[in-house]
Amino acid sequence: GDSVTQMEGPVTLSEEAFLTINCTYTATGYPSLFWYVQYPGEGLQLLLKATKADDKGSNKGFEATYRKETTSFHLEKGSVQVSDSAVYFCALSGSGYSTLTFGKGTMLLVSP
Amino acid sequence: NAGVTQTPKFQVLKTGQSMTLQCAQDMNHEYMSWYRQDPGMGLRLIHYSVGAGITDQGEVPNGYNVSRSTTEDFPLRLLSAAPSQTSVYFCASSYSTRGIYNEQFFGPGTRLTVL
């Protein structure tokens, strides 16, 4: 079945550092790929998405490119802020499915 | 638009008790799902629905029932609560565009503790 693997955390960075959170997936067909963010005590919010190969999703300075050849969707940000501290989830929606398969989440901690 | 709403926010049950977690959405979305979130496990799918009157099991359905009598509501029933069901429960809704499933919109969650 479908699966998502993302790097374990916590990832600890200083403000203005470069961020990469790796995400790879296994799926048949052509899934859609998503990054969600969860701030403490809150639900999940969509951060960005890509629905086909080579698409780049971007939002709030975060970017991720759908790489079918490497089955990856790595999340990047050039300069993180303290307010980016949260848990980040990579997820996919398999072809023909309305539900999501999630990675285990990566906690990001940004210090001033 | 309230989006996806869930009640209650917090609940404590004793082993063997039953309860219903409520979920409603006002976006006229076709698809609704229930997930549970446990530390180090990410989110796992419990049940989902592709429209009123149609439900199906997800990855971890045991001990839970759902029904979808209207487009707006998708309650999750715990039949006989067990400590293993201590978790945070999220309801989500989504829609499709030209056959492509869009992102899911999540509710704020219900934190359930079973003693």
Q: How confident is the model at residue A29, as a pLDDT?
A: 82
Q: 3-state class of A82 per DSSP?
A: helix
Q: How confident is the model at residue B1, as a pLDDT?
A: 78
Q: How confident is the model at residue A47, as a pLDDT?
A: 97
d(C-alpha B35, C-alpha B107), whole Å: 11
Residue B27 contacts A, CB cutoff 8 Å: no
Six-digit token string for B109: 């969650």
For residue B56, list its beta bridge partners. Answer: B48
Identity of residue A25: Y
- Please count the other Cβ atoms lying within 10 Å of the Cβ belonging to residue B51: 13
Task: Work out whether the CA dihedral A31, B106, A48, A39 comes out positive or negative.
Answer: negative
Report the b/e string of A57-68 with b at 16+ CB within 10 A.
Answer: beeeebbbbbbe
- What's chain A's Rg over C-alpha atoms? 13
Return the DSSP state at A79: S
Residue A51 contacts B, CB cutoff 8 Å: yes
Kindly state the greatest CA–CA separation across chain B.
46
Through-space distance between the first and last CA atoms of chain B, rounded to whole angstroms: 36
d(C-alpha B49, C-alpha B32), whole Å: 5
Residue B40 contacts A, CB cutoff 8 Å: yes
Residue B42 has pLDDT above 90, yes or no: no
Query: B47-105: per-residue pLDDT in tens?
Result: 999 999 999 999 999 999 999 999 999 999 999 999 999 999 999 999 888 777 778 99
Q: Answer yes or no: do A102 and B108 touch at CB < 8 A.
A: no
Residue A44 contacts B, CB cutoff 8 Å: yes
Out of B104, B107, B108, whose CB is closest to A100? B104
Give the position of tokens 């990001």. Answer: A108
Q: How confident is the model at residue B102, as a pLDDT?
A: 79
Contact, B114 vs B83, CB < 8 A? yes
Out of A51, A99, A104, whose CB is closest to B45? A99
Q: How confident is the model at residue B100, as a pLDDT?
A: 74
Q: Which of A2, A30, A57, A102 has the alpha carbon at shortest distance from B100? A: A30
Q: 3-state class of B84 per DSSP?
A: helix
Q: A78 CA to chain B: closest CA distance, Å?
A: 25
Q: How confident is the model at residue B41, as a pLDDT?
A: 83
Minimal Cα distance from B29: which residue of A? A98
Contact, B77 vs B13, CB < 8 A? no
The whole-number mean pLDDT for each consecutive block of 10 residues of chain A, a chain of 112 residues, reads 91 97 92 94 93 94 96 97 97 82 95 96
- The percent of chain B in helix, strand and coil, each rounded to the nearest 5, is 5, 55, 45
